[in-house]
Amino acid sequence: MTVSTELIKELRDKTGAGVLDCRKALENSGGNLEKAIVILREKGLADATKRAGRETKAGVVELYNHGDGRIGVMVEVNCETDFVARTAEFREFAHEISLQVAANFPSYLNREDVPDEIVEQEKDIARKQALEEQKPDHVIDRIVEGRLAKFFEQNCLLLQPYIRDDSKIVDELLKEMIGTVGENITIRRFKRWAVGEEVS
C-alpha cells in the first residue's frame, strides 16, 4: 500500500523514529497509526536487546534545577559515539531522565543495585505488616513479593512509570531511544539534591 507523507510525518513526530522505519511500520499496519506505533515500540525493544552489550563511553552530564533552585539533579547518560551524544534527541532524552529523577527521587538505577540488606529489610517489613493485618498464612509470601515489587518500582529509576506517560516505564523509554538513535545507551549515574535535606 502507498503511505502518505503526512501520515509518515505524524508517526515520526509521535515516535521520533526514522522515516524508513515509519514508512515500513505504516505499510505493515495497513496505514493504522496506533498499530504502527506498537510495531515501532516492539522494534525499538528488539533493537535495544541486540545492542545491550556494546560499550558506552561518550555521552553527556545533564544538570537540572527545579523550584527556583530548591531541587537540583545531575545525570550522566552514555552512548557509543560523540556524534549521537551531540544530537538533539539524545540531549532531550538526558533532560527527560533528569526531570524523572527530580520528580520521583529514585535511590537506585535498577533492582540489582538495591543492597541485599535493604531487600531483606523490606521483606521483613512487608511480612510484619501482613501479619498485623491478619492475612491468611497461605497468601503472605505473595503479599510480600507484591510489596517488594512496589518498593522496586518506587525506588529504582528504570522501573518507575515515566512521568509523561505512565503506560510505560523508564526502561521502555530507554529502549525506545536506543532503537531511535541506533546505539546502545546507558544511564550511568544520577544524584538529586533538595535544599535543607540531611547530607548522607
Tell me the pLDDT tens digit for each residue of 135-186: 888 888 888 899 999 999 999 999 999 999 988 999 999 988 888 888 889 9
Residues 6+ apart with CB under 8 A from 177: 44, 89, 90, 93, 185
Taking only the tens place, the pLDDT of each residue in 71-86 is: 999 999 999 999 999 9
Cα gap 27→47, rounded to integer Å: 20
Distinct helix (H) and strand (E) counts, the chain: 8, 5
Adjacency order of strands within the sheet including 71-79: 58-66, 71-79, 185-194
C-alpha to C-alpha distance for 95 and 123, rounded to whole angstroms:
34
> CA 84 from chain center: how many Å?
19
Structural domains present in the chain: 5-51 (1.10.8.10), 58-109+156-194 (3.30.479.20), 115-154 (1.10.286)
Is 0.95 surpassed by the pTM of this model? no
